[in-house]
Structure 1
Amino acid sequence: MNIALLANPTAGKGRRAGLLPAVQERLRADGADVVMLGGGSAAEARERAHRAVADGCDALVAMGGDGTVHLGLQAVAGTGVPFGIVPAGTGNDFAVRLGLPASPVAAAGVAADALRDGRSRAVDLARVSGADGTAAWFGAVLAAGFDAFVNERANRMRWPKGAQRYNRAIVEELLALRPRRYRMSLDGAVTEFDSVLVAVGNTESYGGGFRIAPGADPSDGLLDVVVAEPLGRLTLMRLRPRVLKGTHVLDRRVSTHRARTVELAGAGITAYADGERICPLPVTITCVPGALTLLA
C-alpha cells in the first residue's frame, strides 16, 4: 500500500509535532509505504496532495487541524480515494464529529487498520461554487455572518499574534455589528431577510466545539442551515455560550432549515468554511452524498 501523508507540524501550535514519527510508524505497521507530502505554503501542500491522488496513491492521510483536513478534502472529494484523518490541531471539529479518536497515534491506527482490511465509510461533503469561479469542498461548517467577519478581520491583522488577535477581532466586529441583507434559496424556495449570523453545516460544529448546527448529520444527504435574526451586541454575546451546547436553536430568534442545495447572496460578505476563506457571496452550496471515502 502507498499512503500519502499530508502533515502540518505547526497545527495546534505545534504541540503534537513530536508525534509525527510515531504516526508514520503506525501507518507503516502493515508494510505500507508512507510518502510525506511537504510544502512551504498551503498552495504547495494542496498541489502535492492533488498530485499524489492523480498518481494513484492508495490513500491520503491528513495530520493536522481542520485547515489541513480541508486541504486534503480538495484532493480526494468525489474520487473514491480513501482518506484518513489524524487530528493534531486545536479544534479538530470535523474529526470529532466523525467520531475519530482524539489521539493522533490511535487515529493513525484506525486509518491503517481500515486500509489493510478494506474498510471505509461513505461521508457526505458540501461543494461550494462561487460566482467568481471558486470551487471548493468542505466537511464541517460554512459561515457567512458574524463569525465570517471575525475571521476576515483577524486575517487582515498583523498584531497581536495567536488567540489574542482573534479576540481583538471579535471585539472590533461587535463594535461594528449591523444586520446584513441576505437572499437565500433552499432547494428553490427563495427568501430575503436581515441577519447577523448565517451558517450552513454538513456536520455540527466549528471553532473548536461550537455546535452551531446541532443535529447536522454527514450521512443524511442534507445541509443544516442556521439563521439568527438581527441581534444587538449584548444579545449576541449572551447567545454565544449556548452554541457550545447547541441550545441556541431553541431561541425564538434563531431559525433552522434543511436542504440539499443552498444558494446564498449578500453584499460585502465573504464565506469561510472549515475555518478557511472561500470566496465572496453569492455562492451555491450543494450536499454531495458519499463524496468522501473515510478510513474508519
Structure 2
Amino acid sequence: MEFQLKRIFPTLEVLETTRSGDAARLAIQCVGKGVDLVIAAGGDGTISQVGGQLVSTPATLGILPCGTGNDLARTLGVGPEIDLALSRLESGVEAVIDVGEWCSDTAEGFFLNVAGSGFDAAVADKINSGIKRLRGTPAYVAAVLSTLRSFRPEPVLIEVDDDKFEATNMLTAIANARCYGGGMKIAPRASVADGLLDIVLVKKVSKVAFLRAFPRVFKGEHLSHPAVTYRQAQKITLTSAGIRPFLIDGELIAARQVTLGIRPQSLKVRV
C-alpha cells in the first residue's frame, strides 16, 4: 500500500503510530508543518483522532480504511475497499463536512461519525476486548449476540435542544454520518453537510424483540419500529446517575455527563 501511495504522492512521508494518542499527536505536527493533505490509515477511531486535529485548519483529511468497521469511509463513498479509497485520494476532489463535538466532565473532543451510549457502547467494549480478530459486519454481529446476554439498560436524563426527559433506552445513538458497526445504517437519514445531529433512541425491549428487529438496521429500515424514536438537533446532553461508558467513533470514554453538538462545514476531506 505504501508503494501505491508513493506512486500517487511522490513526496509522501509515512508516520507510524506506536501507542495510544499518537495519531492525534502526529496530525498536530502535520498541521504545524503546513501539510496540505494528511492521510489517516486505520479504522474509524484513528480517522477520527486525525480528523479532529484538522478541524478548522487549511489541511485536508485523506482516508485509507484499514479498520474493523470503516463506516465513515462508507458514508463518504471512499471505502471500505482500499482500491476505491486510493482512487479517491488520487482524484483530488474535496468536500467540506460537518464535525460533531463533545465534552464530558473531564475531557472534550470531536467525532466524525457516530457517538452513543448504552448497548452500542457495550458492544464496542466487547469488540475492543477481543472480537477484533474478526472484521467488518461479522465482528459486530458476534459482539451484539455476546453482549445481549448480560446487558441491562439504565435510566439516563436526555436534553435535546430545549426538551428534557428521562428514559431507559437500549441505546442512544448520536450521528453525524449514517453508519456504524461495519455497515449498520443506524441513522439512514443523516447527512454530513446539514448542520444537524441525527438522534436515534431505542427503548428497552425484550431480548427476543431486539433480535427480531436487529436485521432491519442493516437496511436502515428500523426507524419505523415502535420502539425507535428519531429526531434531529444541534445539541444533546446525556446525564447518568454514575460513570458509564460512552462511545465516540468506535472508542470508549467513561463519563457521567456528555454534551454533544455540531460544528458545520469545518473539515475538508478528499472524496
Matched, 1:40 2:11: no
Q: Secondary structure at the match of 1:42?
A: coil
Which residue matches 1:13? none
Q: Which amino acid aligns with 2:112?
A: G
Question: Aligned-pair distance for 1:44?
Answer: 2.2
Residues 160 and 76 from structure 1, CA distance in 2 versus in 1: closer, same or farther, beyond 3 angstroms? closer
Task: Report if aligned partners of 2:48, 2:249 keep a CA contact under 8 Å in 1.
Answer: yes
Contact (CA 8 Å) 2:156, 2:167: kept in 1 or not? yes
Match of 2:133 in 1: 162
Task: Label 1:23 to 1:76 Cα distance change in 2 as closer, same or farther (>3 A).
Answer: same
SS at match of 2:226: coil
Which amino acid is the alignment partner of residue 135 of structure 1?
A: E
Residue 178 of structure 2: aligned partner: 204
Q: 1:169 to 1:286 in 2, by over 3 A?
A: same
Which residue identity lines up with residue 229 of structure 2 in the other structure? S
Deviations 1:176-230 (A, max 9, x none): 2322111111112211111111100101110110011111011000000000111
Cα pair distance change 1:153/1:280, threshold 3 Å: farther
Q: Report whether the alignment pairs 1:286 with 2:261.
A: yes
- Greater alpha carbon shift after TM alignment, 122-131 vs 51-60: 51-60
The RMSD of aligned alpha carbons is 2.2
Q: Which runs of 5+ in 2 are unaligned?
A: none
Which residue is equivalent to 1:12?
none
Distance in structure 2 (CA, Å) of the matches to 1:101 and 1:149: 26
Match runs of 1:1-296 below 5 Å: 19-28=1-10, 33-114=11-92, 119-132=93-106, 134-155=107-128, 157=129, 162-163=133-134, 170-266=144-240, 267-296=242-271
Whole-Å separation in 2 of the counterparts to 1:165 and 1:64: 16
* Rounded Cα–Cα distance in structure 2 between residues aligned with 1:178 and 1:209: 25
Q: Distance in 2 between matches of 1:248 and 1:160?
A: 25
* TM-score, normalised by the number of residues in structure 1: 0.82
Query: What is the identity, as a one-letter code, of the residue corresponding to 1:240?
Result: F
Secondary structure at 2:6 match in 1? helix
Change (3 A) 1:161 1:273: closer
Are the aligned partners of 2:243 and 2:254 in contact in 1 as well (CA < 8 Å)? no
The residue identity in structure 2 corresponding to 1:283 is V
Alpha carbons of structure 1 residues 185 and 113: separation in structure 2 relative to 1, 3 Å:
same
The worse-fitting range, judged by mean Cα deviation, of 180-189 and 222-231 is: 180-189
Percent identity of the aligned residues? Answer: 29
Larger radius of gyration: 1
Deviations 1:81-132 (A, max 9, x none): 1111122334311011012254434433433442xxxx52110010111112
Tell me how many residue pairs correspond in the alignment.
267
Deviates more, 1:213-222 or 1:136-145: 136-145
CA distance in 2, matches of 1:113, 1:233: 46
Shift of 1:274: 1.6
Q: State whether residues 53 and 81 of structure 1, in contact with CA within 8 Å, keep that contact through their aligned partners in structure 2.
A: yes
